[in-house]
Amino acid sequence: MKLAHVFLAALLAWSLDAGSAELKIAATPNPNVFPLLLAMHDHPDLPVKLVPVKDNAGMDVAFEQGADGLLAMTYAIAQKASGKVPDLALEGVYFWRGFFEMTVPGVHDFRDLKGKGLIVSGPVSNGSGGAPDMLFHAALKRSGMSPDDFSICHLPVRQGVRLIESGKPMNSEPACQGAMPASGILLVEPAASGLMLKSSMPFGGESMDRGIDLQKLFGGYASWRPDELPHGGFAIRRASLDDPVKKSQYAAVMHAYREAIDEINRADGMFARLKIARAISSEMDRYYGQYKVDLSAMVVASAIANGEMRFENGRALSGIQSDLERFLEEVSNVQKLPPGFFLGPQDLH
């Protein structure tokens, strides 16, 4: 082998070893990653490597390639732990208002949309089978409805928003059926705030509203307020916690993540909100620009200002576990969460 090739191989091996020293966290471009992006912006030396993935299938690939943890919706984590990553355990749970069925004004219930065309979106892919899709189907069931009551189309969020803004028939998109225009689109924050901001401007399309607040559909849980749900989840593989170095890194990353949540929640005034929003937007472009994710700082700042991007992180798992277990089984369709799914304090010390 030529000397240059030997040197290159040695350099590559060194790089892989160096990369393995960091905690690898996989995440789709969902709101749960925002505090981590802010933490990494504030602390460039944080011992973490973000592994940006497009969708549920991308998570599987990330774990096959050695990911240590996952930032995702809690119900997506529950499904993953019940299937391909059985030692994945939930430690961080964060409550926020996030999912809305965006409609024209006057719609307040899925029953108002019976027979209409609805769009369900994923952040990058079409979202079929992903976390928003899980919540959407559980919300329909809560409303006494079924997917057969609507003409449903799955599209990436940018395509979905363009379709509903255009007012064109659903079947103007090859992936959709139905000669009627879409009457609603399921969006997570800050995309919902972005659509409202855009539609409120001159020539920005028909005015859109948060017609159905999905958070309020899931009553019967006493461990959280009726206008919030435990969407946010930070999970780690137990195999990674068996490594003392990884365990200490996870503790450092979680500390920085929670500090970033506090920073977002304390942001008071447009200047403070824009500063945070610009950091999140620039880091989002850095990691997810490859997937053509476009998240403007103004949209993030608007979501922080209107209270739709406030994370609640002050509840211990022990106090909410019973309700959380029922909620996760309801939304993820997992019959029984795997033993050891919830991490306790003893697992982290």
Q: Over the stretch 16-40, which tens digit does the pLDDT of each residue have?
A: 344 458 999 999 999 999 999 999 9
Is residue 7 one of the residues assigned to a domain? no
pLDDT of residue 311: 84
Tell me if residue 229 falls in helix, strand or coil: strand
pLDDT band at 205 (very low <50, low <70, confident <90, very high): low
According to DSSP, the residues that pair with 26 across neighbouring strands are 51, 70
Q: How confident is the model at residue 214 (pLDDT cuts 50, 70, 90)?
A: very high
DSSP-derived 3-state class of residue 308: coil
Same domain, 114 and 92: no
Among candidate residues 344, 341, 340, the one with its CA nearest the CA of residue 332: 341
Q: Would you place residue 11 in the very low, low, confident or very high pLDDT band (cuts 50, 70, 90)?
A: very low
pLDDT at 167 over 60: yes
Across-strand partners of 49? 24
Of the pLDDT bands very low, low, confident and very high (cuts 50, 70, 90), residue 209 is confident
What's the predicted TM-score (pTM) here?
A: 0.89
Q: Which of 68, 73, 82, 84 lies closest to 254, judged by CA?
A: 68
The average pLDDT across 54-74 equals: 95
pLDDT of 201 strictly over 50: no
Residue range 68-100, pLDDT digits in tens = 999 999 999 999 999 999 999 999 899 888 899
pLDDT at 16: 36
> What CATH number should be reported for the domain holding residue 254?
3.40.190.10
Same domain, 103 and 209: yes
pLDDT of residue 144: 96
Rounded distance, CA 129 to CA 133, Å? Answer: 6
Both 232 and 343 in one domain: the answer is yes
pLDDT at residue 43 in the model: 97
In this structure, is residue 8 part of a structural domain?
no
**Is residue 4 domain-resident?**
no
**Nearest-angstrom CA–CA distance, 90 and 337:** 11
Query: Across residues 264-278, what is the average pLDDT?
Result: 93
Indicate whether 16 belongs to any domain: no
Q: What are phi and psi of 169, to 5 degrees?
A: -60, 150
| Average pLDDT value for residue range 250-273 | 94
Q: What is the mean pLDDT of residues 128-143?
A: 95
Q: Say yes or no: 243 and 293 in one domain.
A: yes
Q: Within a 10 A sphere around the Cβ of 12, how many other Cβ atoms?
A: 10
- How high is the mean pLDDT of the chain? 88
Are residues 163 and 205 part of one domain?
A: yes
Looking at the structure, do residues 344 and 235 belong to the same domain, yes or no?
yes
Amino acid at 344: G
Residues 109 and 253 placed together within one structural domain of the fold: no
- Residue 239 domain flag: yes
Q: Which domain holds residue 265?
A: 21-96+228-348
163 occurs within a structural domain: yes
Higher-pLDDT residue of 205 and 348 is: 348
Q: 172, 198, 217 — which closes off a domain?
A: 217
Q: Is residue 11 part of a domain?
A: no
Residues 66 and 123 in one domain: no
- Helix, strand, coil percentages (3-state) for the chain, rounded to 5, are 50, 20, 30
* Model pLDDT, residue 223: 93
**Do both 128 and 236 map to the same domain?**
no
Among 305, 294, 310, 287, smallest CA distance to 161 is for 294
H helix or E strand, kind and range, residue 236: strand 229-237
Residues forming a β-bridge with 24? 49
Q: What is the pLDDT of residue 309?
A: 78
49 plus 61 within the same structural domain: yes
Does the residue 222 lie in any domain? no
- Return the pLDDT at 110: 96
pLDDT for 203 equals: 37
Q: Domain boundary at 217, 240, 270, which?
A: 217
* Same-domain status, 193 and 111: yes
Structural domain tally of the chain? 2
Same domain for 113 and 195? yes
Average pLDDT for residues 198-221, to the nearest whole number?
77
What is the rounded CA–CA span in Å between residue 114 and residue 127?
22
Q: Which of 217, 252, 270 is the last residue in one of the domains?
A: 217
Share of the chain above pLDDT 70, in %: 92
